[in-house]
């Protein structure tokens, strides 16, 4: 009987054990956490992957990260147990994690910017999480667990770029790059606001999917080296209103060529590198706004969820892996074969 009670308190989680690397993702047993004041225990249902999670696991994000980290920032689950003083959530609520656990609204402090799940704080690749009650939002009711798990980073990043910071409006033209989570969410949000999207990809197969998702025009950047100029020509040489820049060093020059005077470039990803020469005339003669986007705050997350629920919008999921296949999910994301989000079903 004593052994049975002990076993009931145990659950599983993945940790990066010993050294960095996907091969060192190890499934271990851990005690189910008990919430303290203003904390909740969440029984996790699903998680989703971001490029950052791959970097963290490989030791390329923060080489000084503590050993034994539980990776992944994005997850959804059900409130299992409430600590004393919790009023904004109830037992049984289905909730999404927030990337910044302490950034609620407005301009973040340095402390709030450091409160990120999946590094340095243990993340969502586990059966039970212990979190501050302020670091969760209710999930849209119409979404599956896997769909809801895609929202905390990729969806909110696209929303912050286009809506919270970008002021998107009907009739705008948005340029997206590739077919990862942020870019596909940006396409979907643009559709909600009556904007049109010029979408780029290096795969004809993925270009067909972008068209099905509602892209106004598509460009194969492998066939069109000067895709920035082509995007501008599509707008009758006016230029696009907003670029969702995920490529980094190898794509920024083309983004400058695509955007209109007084347009906006949201730098979100650096898939091709961090450093590149920048011609300052783009900023001066074009009067451009170039903004860095690092996900967003909880208030924006809740506003985004209301829009998603009201419009019955559904995230694009490429593939769902089982919990014990988490390393395979990482390798699949690393292959860059996915269109949309890669998810993990936990329970």
pLDDT higher for 280 or 1?
Answer: 280
Widest Cα–Cα separation across the chain: 76
Q: Are strands 94-97 and 173-177 parallel, antiparallel or unpaired?
A: unpaired
pLDDT at 66: 82
What does the pLDDT look like over 143-162, one tens digit per residue? 999 999 999 999 999 999 99
The two three-digit tokens of residue 136, written as one number: 């969760």
Across 2-6, 17-21, 269-273, the highest mean pLDDT is recorded for 17-21
- Token pair of 33, please? 């956490």
Give the model confidence (pLDDT) of 168-213 as tens digits: 999 999 999 999 999 999 999 999 999 999 999 999 999 999 999 9
Rg, Å, the chain Cα set: 21
| Residue 5: band (very low, low, confident or very high) from pLDDT cuts 50, 70, 90 | very low
Tell me the domain boundaries of the chain.
2-154+316-345, 166-292
pLDDT value for 4: 46
pLDDT range class, residue 270, cuts 50, 70, 90: low
Q: Would you say residue 1 has pLDDT above 90? A: no
Q: Spell out the residues 6+ positions from residue 342 whose beta carbon is closer than 8 angstroms to its own.
A: 48, 49, 317, 318, 319, 321, 329, 332, 333
- pLDDT score of 341: 97
Distance of alpha carbon 24 from alpha carbon 15, whole angstroms: 8
Check if the beta carbon of residue 44 is closer than 8 Å to that of residue 23.
Answer: no
> Thinking of the domain 166-292, which architecture would CATH place it in?
3-Layer(aba) Sandwich (3.40)
Over residues 202-244, the pLDDT tens digits come to 999 999 999 999 999 999 999 999 999 999 999 999 999 999 9
Task: Tell me what pLDDT residue 8 has.
Answer: 62
- Alpha-carbon distances of 54 from 12, 198, 204, 322, rounded to whole Å: 21, 28, 26, 17
In the numeric block, which tokens belong to residue 337?
């074969």
C-alpha neighbours within 13 Å on the C-beta side of residue 129: 36
* Whether pLDDT at 6 is above 60: no
**Mutual orientation of helices 181-192 and 204-213 as an angle, nearest 10°?**
30
Question: C-alpha angle 185/232/175, rounded to 5°?
Answer: 5
Q: Which residue has the tokens 């002021």?
A: 167
State the Cα–Cα distance between residues 296 and 24, nearest whole angstrom.
30
Q: Mean pLDDT across the chain, nearest whole number? A: 93
Q: Do domains 2-154+316-345 and 166-292 have the same CATH topology?
A: no
Residue 274: the pLDDT is 61
Spatial separation of the C-alpha atoms in residues 315 and 328, rounded to whole Å: 22
Residue that wins the pLDDT comparison between 271 and 64: 64
Superfamily (CATH) of domain 2-154+316-345: Medium-chain alcohol dehydrogenases, catalytic domain (3.90.180.10)
Between CA 73 and CA 245 the distance in angstroms is: 21
Per-residue pLDDT, 177: 96
CA-to-CA distance for 175 and 162, rounded, in angstroms? 11
pLDDT band of 36, cuts 50, 70, 90: very high
**Which of 135, 195, 136, 137 has the alpha carbon at shortest distance from 161?**
195
**Whole-structure pTM over 0.75, yes or no?**
yes
pLDDT tens for each residue of 49-98? 999 999 999 999 999 998 899 999 999 999 999 999 999 999 999 999 99
Alpha-carbon span 194 to 135, nearest angstrom:
32
Check pLDDT > 70 for residue 7.
no
| Cα distance from N-terminal residue to C-terminal residue, the chain | 26
Cis geometry, peptide bond prior to residue 212 (ω within 30 degrees of 0) = no
Of 27, 45, 25, whose CA–CA distance to 320 is shortest? 45
Residue with the bigger pLDDT between 76 and 276: it is 76
User: Which residues fall within 8 angstroms of residue 203, CB to CB, at 6 or more apart?
Assistant: 179, 220
Exposure pattern of 4-16 as b/e (b: 16+ CB <10 Å)?
eeeeeeebbbbbb
3-state secondary structure of 3: helix
Mean pLDDT of 127-143: 98
pLDDT at 287: 77
Residue 302: CB atoms within 10 Å = 14
Rounded Cα–Cα distance for residues 291 and 263 (Å): 11
């Amino acid at each position: 009987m004593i052994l049975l009670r002990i076993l009931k308190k145990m659950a599983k989680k993945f940790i990066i054990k010993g050294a960095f690397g996907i091969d060192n993702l190890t499934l271990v047993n851990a005690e189910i956490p008990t919430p303290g004041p203003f904390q909740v225990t969440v029984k996790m249902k699903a998680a989703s992957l971001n490029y950052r999670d791959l970097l963290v696991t490989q030791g390329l994000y923060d080489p000084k990260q503590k050993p034994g980290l539980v990776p992944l920032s994005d997850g959804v689950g059900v409130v299992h147990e409430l600590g004393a003083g919790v009023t904004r959530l109830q037992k049984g609520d289905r909730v999404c994690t927030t990337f910044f656990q302490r950034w609620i609204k407005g301009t973040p402090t340095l402390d709030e910017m450091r409160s990120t799940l999946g590094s340095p704080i243990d993340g969502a690749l586990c059966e039970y999480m212990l979190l501050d009650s302020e670091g969760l939002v209710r999930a849209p009711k119409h979404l599956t667990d896997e769909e809801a798990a895609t929202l905390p980073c990729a969806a909110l990043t696209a929303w912050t770029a286009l809506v919270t910071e970008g002021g998107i409006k009907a009739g705008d033209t948005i340029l997206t790059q590739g077919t990862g989570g942020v870019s596909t969410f940006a396409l979907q949000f643009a559709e909600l606001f009556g904007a049109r999207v010029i979408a780029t990809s290096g795969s004809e197969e993925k270009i067909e999917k972008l068209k099905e998702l509602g892209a106004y025009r598509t460009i194969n950047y492998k066939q069109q080296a000067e895709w920035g100029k082509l995007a501008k020509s599509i707008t009758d040489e006016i230029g696009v209103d907003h670029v969702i820049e995920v490529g980094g060093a190898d794509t920024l020059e083309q983004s400058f060529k695509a955007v209109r005077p007084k347009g906006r470039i949201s730098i979100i990803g650096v898939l091709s590198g961090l450093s590149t020469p920048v011609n300052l005339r783009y900023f001066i003669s074009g009067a451009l706004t170039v903004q860095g986007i690092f996900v967003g705050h909880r208030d924006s997350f809740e506003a985004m969820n209301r829009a998603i629920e009201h419009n019955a919008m559904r995230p694009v999921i490429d593939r769902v892996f089982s919990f014990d296949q988490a390393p395979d999910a990482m390798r699949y994301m690393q292959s860059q074969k996915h269109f949309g989000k890669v998810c993990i079903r936990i329970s």
